[in-house]
Amino acid sequence: MKVTVDADRCRGHGVCVALCPEVFTLTDDGYAVTGDAAPEQAAAVDDAAHACPEQAITTE
So what's the pLDDT on residue 23? 98
Cut 0.75: pTM above it: yes
With CA atoms as reference, report the closest residue to 47 among 22, 12, 11. Answer: 22
So what's the pLDDT on residue 47? 97
So what's the pLDDT on residue 32? 97
Cα distance between residue 14 and residue 31, in whole Å: 8
Class of domain 3-59: alpha beta
Partners of residue 2 on adjacent β-strands = 36
Domain ranges of the chain: 3-59
Cite the beta strand spans of 1-60 per DSSP E.
3-5, 25-26, 32-33, 57-59
What tens digit of pLDDT does each residue of 2-51 get?
A: 999 999 999 999 999 999 999 999 999 999 999 899 999 999 999 999 99
So what's the pLDDT on residue 35? 87
